[in-house]
Amino acid sequence: MRTAVGQFTASPDWKDNLTACRDLTTEAVRAGADLLVLPEGVLARFTEDRHRIREVAQPLDGPFVTELARATEGEAMTVVVGVHEPSGDGRVFNTLVALRDGRLVARYRKLHLYDAFGDLESANVRPADEPPVLLEVAGTRVGLMTCYDVRFPELARLLVDAGAELLALPAAWVRGPGKERHWEVMIAARAMENTCWVAASGECGPRNTGHSMIVDPLGNVRARLTSTPGLTWTDADPKATAAARDILPVLANRRFAVSPTILAPGGPR
């Protein structure tokens, strides 16, 4: 499965961001990609007034998702990208959509909110109470995760237990001391401990690090971007997944299962 990751700097105007997503979609189609992973929360980006995220949120049948879905019409490629949608309680959901051939084929609402490093995503975003999501792309089972989710290895393991061979990880990874190192280490860790591919797309720009990458089941970086807008891709070969699971049978050797029970906010950590 040819897998691409793309990154750009989101602007406050959703129409500009739609154009950037369309352009990367067109480029990925030309590259023969089966899957394109774009960043998290691309409707708009604000450095100061985070409350405005509520104002720019759109329903999944709104103009942004509708127009980006239209850009996939007639194509077999699946585009995974993050948006914010109204949640009904005054906040929004941080939602991944998977689009293919003009249709919404899957939706994942972020489970783990970024209440860390002085940020408080939950002030404006409602955490999902729904199970993680798996979809099939070109014969490969793909699990969906968003940004801060990568810090929780049990979510990746749940997806792999459900059959995921590749994890798609849109993100807007905030800059800070050591943060780029965290990004790289955890993407590689989720790949190696689950012997699966990870396609991680990070928004770039003054607030976020970029550094989108695709890592194979043994933790090798197969494709990488730096801190500027762009697109890169590689072939996520299922034979490589099978070979990794043969020589490194961590999934078979483990002694503990992960229960898919969602804890209430403030529960055990």
Token couple for 130: 């729904």
Q: Active-site residue numbers?
A: 40, 110, 147
Q: Is the dihedral of CA 152, 84, 67, 174 positive or negative?
A: negative
Three-class HEC string of 167-235: EEEEECCECCCCHHHHHHHHHHHHHHHHCCEEEEEECECCCEECCCEEECCCCCEEEECCCCCEEEEEE
Task: Identify any residues that bridge with 36 across adjacent strands, giving them in sequence order.
Answer: 4, 79
Could you tell me where the beta strands, DSSP code E, fall in 73-147?
78-86, 92-100, 103-109, 134-137, 140-144
Tally of CA atoms within 13 A in the half-sphere of 241 that contains its CB: 21
Length of the chain measured in residues:
269
Q: How far apart are CA 195 and CA 192, in angstroms?
A: 5
Q: How far apart are CA 236 and CA 227, in angstroms?
A: 23
Contact yes or no for 182/174 (Cβ under 8 A): no
Contact yes or no for 117/176 (Cβ under 8 A): yes
